[in-house]
Structure 1
Amino acid sequence: MAPAVGDVVYRFEGPLRLVEILDRPNRFLVRVLDGGAVRHCHLHDPGRLPELVRRGARAVVRPTRGAKTDCSITAVEAPNGVWVVADSRIHSDVASLFLGGARREVKVGNHRLDFLLGDMYVEVKGCTLVVDGRAMFPDAPTKRGTEHLRLLRSLMRAGYRAKVVVLVMRPDAECFMPNWATDPSFSREFAMFVKSGGAVDVHRFRYADGYVIYDGDIDLCDGWDREAPDL
């Protein structure tokens, strides 16, 4: 049975600590100030997250062990005070709760898709960017994401079903749309995927005290495909 609104879908193991972000020396490394001490934390998210991972922002970290880090960024407080889950390692576990019985990490040619449920291939995307109530993906150009959508369309032409599951990891989103300004190639492929009969589920979540809580589904934004090509 899929989660109901208000259900906990993931729990981060602690102890959790509240810290202040200093800077982000590289894509996966964030320096934080923890009780006067500087710590190096791993950031497991492929996005740019400039509106989240910024100097002075509050973050929650948990202990993990890496070659150069001893903690991981778990959630970050956005400028509007909303807490945003910032660890993409949980995406597959969370999505699987909505896809009961699906097989994970399915190889298709030289590619891998996240799930296969019956005759339906499923790809999962995590979203942390919200602007004026609109959740948008991606926040950085994603060649890999574009290739996944093309693969899903080719599978549909071969007779399979296909779905994109979007996990919006913050509760202030009112609707979802592709990020045309940041990645027009992905956005065009997304539009063609939908117009070709692909399904899209957008699940929204909130963070509280180490728990990720299902906050309901949202629809595509009005005018989400205004820049889409005709098929």
Structure 2
Amino acid sequence: MSKRNDALNRITDVQPHKEMMMTQAKGFTQKLRARMAAGAFIATGALALAPLAQAANEDHDAALLVTDTASQAVTALDDQIISDDEADRVLSNVDIDAVAKFTLGNKWADLSADEQSRYVDAFKVFARNQMKEHLSGLSGADVTVTDVVPRGDKDAIVVTQVRTAGNDLPQEMSWRVVANGSWHIVDIQAQDIWFAIEQRAQFGAILDRNNGDIDALINEISS
């Protein structure tokens, strides 16, 4: 009986030691996993650093284009009127050729080179007049970039808040910008309406009413 008790005591004495060793081993494993995870994080971070820096630079360039364009418009409105020259300076930040082509949709490919050229010229006049009319609300405004939403490597939406003296609530304007050598604006959204998308629908309706006659559209948007 005494021998049996001694054996039981030895087993009982070994059990805590075994548990302690298992706890230490578990702790070592957890530390090892943590170190491996940290190493993986550092390695991944090092690999991602260059593209992240590039993305940050691209976001900055896209946002800078928008703030510069808005600043030009606000400055031009100091006298409450945007002249043709001032409008053209603002529109130099817009890829007018790309926007003009977009607004025609599939119809663009059906035009001759001469028709395409005449249409783009007419669209530039139209865009200038539209800008002079609709950007008048930026008079004395404070435009702040609140977000840059990437849509691809060279495509982003720049979200801004526009505060004017007569309105306590800021209005949101979004600017779609693309980079083809340098960043340019290709569409502007205000009050949930995208300018280029809206014009594409309206121009399509004009062409439908005139049996696809591009001259009818050119005459209408040039007037």
Q: TM over 0.5, yes or no?
A: no
TM-score normalised to structure 1 length: 0.25
More helix by share: 2
